[in-house]
Structure 1
């Protein structure tokens, strides 16, 4: 994915990366990992911290196994993975053996708008809100398709600070977020944050450069891309091989 300079180019010309596989081999000894209890009165899956590069990581910050996922809210494979794996991932995170990090890999303007809203409430609701956005994907696509190309192009021609807000409103994302605790004024502010949108898009360029990603979802175990893993069944086997 080539990120062109300027938000206008990003919004209008951001090319679609495939929903597909990554290649690589995770770096792990495969020795069994010992469980680590969370601080008293907490669970690891409710422990979420922001990383220096702006991602949100769930679980034990010192976990021996670090799982990261590059995912797109407009990718059907990512939607299916979220539905199938989220509960089991939380269970593994709760052992303290593994942390989990969802990294936004934005592929199109609707993806950017969704990511801005998912991040709008901060680290404490990012994961449940992300799961709900994935579950809402089909309904969102239906509204997007009903717009028609002339309406969509008109939305994309709006000034940068209005573009993602108008798009998110048109495809039902703002109302969806409001029903889950994001106030209208808060949503408006997040969707008008052109610097945040630029950062999301440039993060894709950085990820492609570092990991040579070929599509979404792509998974990393201890910072190495996992080969041919796009489903939970395959990834779970890889995690077991890594010591979970």
Structure 2
């Protein structure tokens, strides 16, 4: 019940348009002076900060389609582009129902620190089913987040402090505001160098083609059937 009671109001505020117009800011590990918990403030860049191409992803840790993206498409983007230093990625939270769970997962990643941020996000998406199951139990979802936190060096006290931290929630509201400003209404939504990726292009092949285009790499066209004219030219 702790997470449910805490995040229902916070998540509603995060999704409201115009709560604040926070500017983008580089990531830094800071401390909540009230709780003492450290957390990531700002946008964490995955990959080469000076990469020619940047992906900005707006997503929610409680979103099933976001989980699919993180487990089936993002690994290929990492292998083919991010690990090559040509593309980087910034993940931003846009909590979706059940928003209290989305906010909890987002908070946990921020409280894990810059070095563990994307590792925790991956763990939360991987554990999405277990989190949902726990949320339906009498004990609520908190124990599931405690287990995830433990895998990344966080104590139960750390997790509880994290999910009750106002500054951490402010960071989630900041990225939700940025999503509103960008006209984002669904998750996951990607922008490649500021250009929104259409939902029909949210596939491995289409995203690879868009990234290659942004890098100035020509993607070979599929071989077309030979016509009488092209066949004659071949002879």
Could you state the TM-score of these two structures normalised by the residue count of structure 2? 0.70
Whole-angstrom CA distance in 2 between matches of 1:8 and 1:79: 22
Indicate the RMSD between aligned Cα atoms, in angstroms: 2.8
Partner of 1:183: 155
Whole-angstrom CA distance in 1 between matches of 2:151 and 2:86: 34
Partner of 1:140: 131
> In 1, are the aligned partners of 2:123 and 2:148 still within 8 Å (CA)?
no
1:206 aligned to 2:197?
A: no
> In 1, are the aligned partners of 2:8 and 2:100 still within 8 Å (CA)?
no
Match of 1:124 among 106, 112, 115: 115
Match of 2:142 among 156, 169, 187: 169
Whole-angstrom CA distance in 1 between matches of 2:135 and 2:157: 23
1:10 aligned to 2:22?
A: no
Partner of 1:62: 50
Deviations 1:8-31 (A, max 9, x none): 733467669xxxxxxxxxxxxxxx
Whole-angstrom CA distance in 2 between matches of 1:95 and 1:56: 18
Whole-angstrom CA distance in 2 between matches of 1:12 and 1:207: 14
Whole-angstrom CA distance in 2 between matches of 1:63 and 1:97: 5
Partner of 2:222: none
Match of 1:221 among 169, 174, 192: 192
Match of 1:50 among 12, 27, 40: 27
1:70 deviates by 0.8
**SS of the counterpart of 1:203?**
helix
1:55 deviates by 1.4
1:99 deviates by 0.9
Whole-angstrom CA distance in 2 between matches of 1:176 and 1:111: 14
Whole-angstrom CA distance in 1 between matches of 2:90 and 2:189: 12
Partner of 1:94: 83
> In 2, are the aligned partners of 1:106 and 1:201 still within 8 Å (CA)?
no
Bigger relative contact order, structure 1 or 2 (CA pairs below 8 A, ≥6 apart): 1
Whole-angstrom CA distance in 2 between matches of 1:105 and 1:15: 7
Whole-angstrom CA distance in 1 between matches of 2:41 and 2:191: 16
Instruction: Provide structure 1 residue ranges, at least 5 long, that are not aligned to the other structure.
Output: 1-6, 17-48, 152-166
Partner of 1:113: 104
Structure possessing the higher radius of gyration over alpha carbons: 2
**SS of the counterpart of 2:9?**
helix
> In 2, are the aligned partners of 1:12 and 1:109 still within 8 Å (CA)?
no
**SS of the counterpart of 1:180?**
coil
